[in-house]
Amino acid sequence: MTRIFTFTVLTFTALESLCAYQHYFKEVIPDGNGGLVIDSFKSSSKLKENSRLRLTLEFFALWVANGKLIFSALLIVITRAPVDIRICTSISMICGCLLYFPCMSPLLHKLEYLGEIKSGIATNYDVGILWVFTPLWTLTLMVDIYTAFKNLKVI
């Protein structure tokens, strides 16, 4: 029953890869509702092209992009892992989704309030994480727990 896990991983990986692509090639989606690359923030236009601060921000943006691709590749490998590893992965992903809310969400909403990013982006991220990815990983977890019990002949 790895199909739901594979579907969840591939969906997550596709979006994370798009985000990484935007960081690598500094692509800002024209309507402004895309990934949060450096040029999505209004203050970035005040930074000179080769200023130390801009170069530092670009370095960390690329660091994040690399992390997203490495993490996504590991998730793809885990699709072939035993059910106990998939259960632990799903629990970790649910925790990761929920950790977004006490730390990053308030900061993103503050940036939106200050006019740094286009109105609605913070809410889009909140909705995507809370109502798409958290339920998807939770469903994946439940299916794998069911599979684990079924393999043990408990169910």
Predicted pLDDT of residue 39: 80
Predicted pLDDT of residue 30: 57
Lowest mean pLDDT among 47-51, 105-109, 135-139: 47-51
Predicted pLDDT of residue 118: 87
Please provide residue 118's backbone torsions phi and psi, each rounded to the nearest 5 degrees.
Answer: -65, 140
Residue 51 has pLDDT above 70, yes or no: yes
User: Is the separation of the CB atoms in 145 and 152 below 8 Å?
Assistant: no
What Rg, from alpha-carbon coordinates, does the chain have?
18
Lowest mean pLDDT among 3-7, 27-31, 45-49, 74-78: 27-31
Taking CA atoms, 31 is separated from 34, 117, 137, 148, 154, in Å, by 7, 11, 29, 44, 52
Sign of the CA dihedral with 145 first, then 148, 152, and 155 last: positive
- Cα separation, 45 vs 40, whole angstroms: 9
Predicted pLDDT of residue 35: 65
Name residues whose C-beta falls within 8 Å of residue 116's C-beta, 6 or more positions apart in sequence: 41, 42, 43
Q: Which of 61, 90, 63 is nearest to 75 (CA)?
A: 90
Predicted pLDDT of residue 22: 87
Question: Domain range for residue 77?
Answer: 3-151
The larger pLDDT score, comparing residue 104 to residue 35, is at: 104
What rounded mean pLDDT belongs to the chain?
Answer: 90
Residue 71 has pLDDT above 80, yes or no: yes
Counted domains in the chain: 1
pLDDT in tens, 11-45: 999 999 998 998 888 776 655 555 678 888 888 88
- Cα separation, 61 vs 20, whole angstroms: 9
